[in-house]
Structure 1
Amino acid sequence: MMESWVRFSARSQAKERVFRAAQYACTLLGYTLQKGGARAELLNTIKQLEAHMSLTRKLMRLGNSAEALEAAKRTVHLSDCVLRLCITVAHLNRAMYFACDNVLWAGKTGLLPELDQNKWSQRSFRYYLFALILNLTRDAYEIRLLMERESRSSSAKSFTSSPSPLTPSPENRGEFPLTPSPSSVLSPLPPLPMISARLNKHFQLLITVLRNNPPLLLDLLKNLCDVFIPLDRLGLYPTGSGFVGACGLTSSILSILTIVHPWLKLKP
């Protein structure tokens, strides 16, 4: 029964992403029209449309808690302890977020008229924020692992391609050099240029890793965009409806891309 419900929820995920994109597009449009001095009637229409989109999305997410729990059961057996902790706890927080969202849907539809909607909304956004922080931690961990691997690979290639100073060559007349020549001794770099060189090297390494791993890049961008939504809703880092709408629309489009092209979805 649980597996059947999970499959049903997976089918509605694409539609929910489309409605999410439409909802945040309405948020961004309403902000733009308000700045442009649009009529109050038009702004009210946009806000009502956004509210309807939000309510429809909550209806589509009624079974997502079960899907998140099933995902947590799958990731609890991962061999990497950091990935196991981050991904499993993130799925559990998503399950709690969806559960709070379902209660909030019941309150908005009148099934629970005495429900404190503001309290449950704040509670759901807290679970959502914690899940996103764990997802970003997972992304940072995977980036660090890939950067270390890329660095070791580059060092190995440069070591094999450059001749050893102890190897006889025409330049040293077939003899082994006993002492390094003065030109081969590198003078120590000043602190500031040394730090700049290291930062530039790390930055180039980061660009290489993200360019070679599109699923990781998309997941990082999506989580970075999403994290501003609960931060704004909880009042921790207010950014305004325009910025929230742009972030939500961008992350929704990225999510739709991972559904249309499954190879772009970060695994596990």
Structure 2
Amino acid sequence: MNCSFQCCADAFPSVSPPLCVCRAAQYACTLLGYTFQKSGASPDLVAKIKQLEAHMSLGRKLFRLGSSADALEAAKRGVHLSDSVLRLCITVAHLNRAMYFACDNVLWAGKAGLVRKLDQDKWSQRSFRYYLFALIMNLSRDVYELSLLMEREPRGPKGSSVSSSPVSESREAASGSGLGLPALPQRLRAQLLLLATVLRCNPPLLLDLLKNTCDLFIPLDRLGLYRTNPGFVGACGLASSLLSILTITYPWLKLKP
């Protein structure tokens, strides 16, 4: 398989490194606070970590002032994409990100004391709904690009896989039994191998898929759609933040368009 990937004009707004570092620190505090609390640490220590987490959250909201305009500009660029599915997913995702950032700005104004008598729970739930839908569109885009790459995978004669000879089938069956997968149908094993090959040869798509999957659990938990615990949310947020920092450090790992 050709392990190259297409680089197009970036349709996503750039993420500032301070914001990613602040986000990673916030979710690291969430994870540490939960871990210390479960291990019976001093209540004062847990309270200090939670206070630090609150400061990090407020700092992130400050860094995100004006991000709605960036998301709207990215949505405008997404409208001009030639692929209709990518155009829909990217444009709708950025529009929802713009609304999410707008709600986040209102929350910041309320926490900073600029807006009095603000129903913060209501605005927080509203912002996480926009965030959730943006992530769903991002994941839909990832799945669509993954399906395209799998369809483009070179195949042997008559549409069969190149490795579908009797000898290779017996080898795959033997290796599959070693992996504990003897009961899987041959077609399913072939699809799983193809999926692994495509993801291995397309690191930007793999990282974006992992990042969006990790982020998905955050709004699901905050909206009460899939309850986990602060430790799991902190681990997911920290993992996605580190992946974002990785794409900033190595720009070729960022999924485009």
TM-score by length of 1: 0.81
1:154 alignment partner, SS class: coil
In the alignment, the residues of structure 1 paired with residue 97 and residue 221 of structure 2 have an alpha-carbon distance, to the nearest angstrom, of: 18
Residue ranges of structure 1 left out of the alignment (5+ in a row): 1-8, 163-192
Partner of 1:141: 144
Counterpart of 2:55, as a letter, is H
Q: By how many angstroms is 1:134 displaced?
A: 0.3
Instruction: For 1:54 and 1:242, locate their aligned partners in 2 and report how far apart those are by CA, in whole Å.
Output: 16
User: Equivalents in 2 of 1:127, 1:91: separation in Å?
Assistant: 10
Indicate the structure whose relative CO is greater, using CA pairs within 8 Å and at least 6 residues apart. 2
1:45 aligns with 2:34: no
Counterparts of 1:12-27 in structure 2 under 5 Å? Answer: 13-27=16-30
Q: Provide the residue aligned with 1:211 in structure 2.
A: 200
Query: Which consecutive aligned stretches of 4+ in structure 1 deviate over 3 angstroms post-superposition?
Result: 156-159
Number of the residue aligned with 1:254: 243
The structure that is helix-richer by fraction is: 1
What does residue range 1-268 of structure 1 map to in structure 2 within 5 Å?
A: 10=14, 13-150=16-153, 153-155=154-156, 196-268=185-257
Cα distance in 2 for residues equivalent to 1:156 and 1:265? 35
**What is the alpha-carbon distance in structure 1 between the residues aligned to residue 253 and residue 225 of structure 2?**
31
Could you say if the C-alpha distance between residues 156 and 79 of structure 1 is closer, same or farther in structure 2, counting changes exceeding 3 Å? Answer: farther
Q: Deviations over 1:207-264 (max 9, x none)?
A: 0000000000000000000000000000000110000000000000000011111100
State the structure with more CA Rg: 1
Identity %: 73
Q: Which position in structure 1 is the counterpart of 2:169? A: none
Matched letter for residue 69 of structure 1: L
Write out per-residue CA displacement over residues 185-213 of structure 1, whole angstroms, 9 at most, x where no aligned residue: xxxxxxxx997111100000000000000
Distance 1:156 1:53 in 2: 57
Output the TM-score relative to the length of structure 2. 0.84
Which digits, 9 at most, give the CA deviation of each residue in 1:142-198, with x for residues without a partner?
000000100xx1225998x99xxxxxxxxxxxxxxxxxxxxxxxxxxxxxx997111
Partner of 2:172: none
